[in-house]
Amino acid sequence: MLFLNSPAGKAEMKRLAITTSGLYSLSVGKIRGIAIPVPDEGARKATIAKLGQLMKLCDDLEAQIQRSEATSAKLVEAVVAELVAHGDGPIPAAM
């Protein structure tokens, strides 16, 4: 499906299609005959290895975001506690 929706796949289908008054038609037989390129084993292994690296990077980023959110929540709690403890004064301009 990805190949057939790619520019190369669309060009191949257009090449095989028959047009009558600007409307293209493509028979099932011609669709079955389209050669779908498949990467060789080395390229597949390299792609899988790269995906593994990218998935680890995503996991690391997700963990970092969770740590940042936890730190932010603690900071908000500390600010609220400070305001409650010293609630009689104005809120500092930096907030």
Does this model's pTM top 0.85?
Answer: no
Domain match, 51 and 14 both: no
Domain match, 33 and 43 both: no
Helix (H) or strand (E) holding 25: strand 23-25
| pLDDT, position 94 | 60
Domain match, 26 and 48 both: no
Ranges of the chain whose pLDDT falls below 50: none
| pLDDT, position 62 | 98
Domain match, 31 and 63 both: no
Taking alpha carbons only, the member of 73, 12, 71, 69 closest to residue 37 is 12
| pLDDT, position 68 | 98
| pLDDT, position 83 | 87
